[in-house]
Structure 1
Amino acid sequence: MKTAFKHSLAVAAFVAANAAQAQFIPFPPTLTSGSGTLAFSNDALNALKSSGVALATPNIIPAVSGVSTGGNANAGSYAAGSLNLTFSSVTTSGDHVSSLASPDSFLRLRRSLVDENGNVEAQYSVYLTGFELDLNQSTVYANVFAATAGGGAATNLGRTALFTATQVGIVGGTEGRIVFSNGPDGVPRPTASGNLAGGLRLNGAAGELILSNLGLAALATNPNDPLNRLWRDSNWGAVSFTAPAVPEPSSYALFGMGLLGVSAAVARRRAQA
């Protein structure tokens, strides 16, 4: 009991002494959420536009047969060339974040063929769901589904490595390390942040899968096509993330005990003086 009290006192003293600046956390917190942005480059946006592909993130995930998250609020939001994601699952390894997942994220890629009168002759859709950022592999994963207008259920094409950074590692922010940082109220809280070190490249298999199911099979298999090279060779953009942390209830209890211990120690010193 005496040892546990001393440990509690040490934790509280550490936090109090370092409240004015970020410090590495003395105990591992439970990270439960986060946010991230996939900012598409101009080359990526040009590749999509030149292929007649439009991106969209409906507020509610469509009830598409085959997509299990249909009807849920979309944790992804596309605007101004960026896909913003809310992560509801964070995995850590030691004092570093190793991955962040957004099970309820949904991005639609749609290509429509219209006649001279503006009537839609054919429509192809690819759905990317359940985005995950794997920091160890510097890779963005998602489930891939394909559907055609009037085609019924979407076809599950499996989980795919969409993008991989050209350089392994995390830069900027805390470089993926969990640290204490003061919040707006001045209270230190654990957090982690950073960016993938390199630009994103569309993985070859993922590019062929997406293009083929958007009705562009000939483009997908022709490496000499300029548009194919634009899809294949472009820097598709950059990824950034931040993950606020919430300590376990036991950690809150330990912290509270530590603060009480500090208060008691200060009171005793004053009484003795």
Structure 2
Amino acid sequence: MPETKEKEAPPSQEQKLIDQLANSDPGKAYQAYHALTEKVTSAGDPGKEAERERLAKVLAGALNATKTVKERRGEKQVPRYNEKVRGELARLVSLIGGQQNVEAISKAMNEIDAREAERFALDRMTDEKSTASLIEFAKNGLGPDFRIGCINALGFRQGKEVVGALTSLTNDKNAGVRQAAFNSLANQTDPSADQAFAQAIAKAQGRDLLALQMYRVRLAGTLADAGNKEAAKKVCQAITADKRALKPQQKAAKIIASRLG
């Protein structure tokens, strides 16, 4: 008897909506995104863990789906969906959250086209694994602009690993990356963040020195707001004792110190 091929399962409703995201008609594409957003929101209700996991698997799979295209040198695997669709999928995945979805987004970030949308998605996910992914891409991501975006995202997170990563990035070859790292360090509530400022200010000149002094004042304010009065006082004292610190920065440091008691 001739072999019978198993029939492929019909696409799920979610898969049809995902395909509709790529529709050239903006109205239909919007309807699909709106419908998917409602599904994701509904799956977040208590008691719907299984549905949330199923939906996450569908969206993450679509985010990293590929198709085969023929070239002169042979066949090549490329993303199934265009940049716009993949960016929307990344946002939907980020709404669900979960460590397994961090992996899906991180994998997709290896592709150049949609990496900024996927950085945005990781930024929305606040678990440890997403932080680790942001650190990895801040250090080794493709292009300084993308890396700076990841560094800025790290500025809104706390922890020893974040401070360590940002501190190492203050020695990066790219000036923009270095400045972004200091800017994000100024948001940290870990007193050890000041070590990078002390070392850099000792060598800095001109505009770099001014920027570092301004960031350092902000670090003092961050520590004070976090309730770490002793650490904030030490930073303020270092600023006021620095003969190269400009008067506005010294004045700001004195004001912060005066409020600490």
| TM-score normalised by length of structure 2 | 0.23
Higher strand share: 1
Q: TM-score, normalised by structure 1?
A: 0.22
Say which structure is richer in helix: 2
Greater RCO, CA 8 A, separation 6+:
1
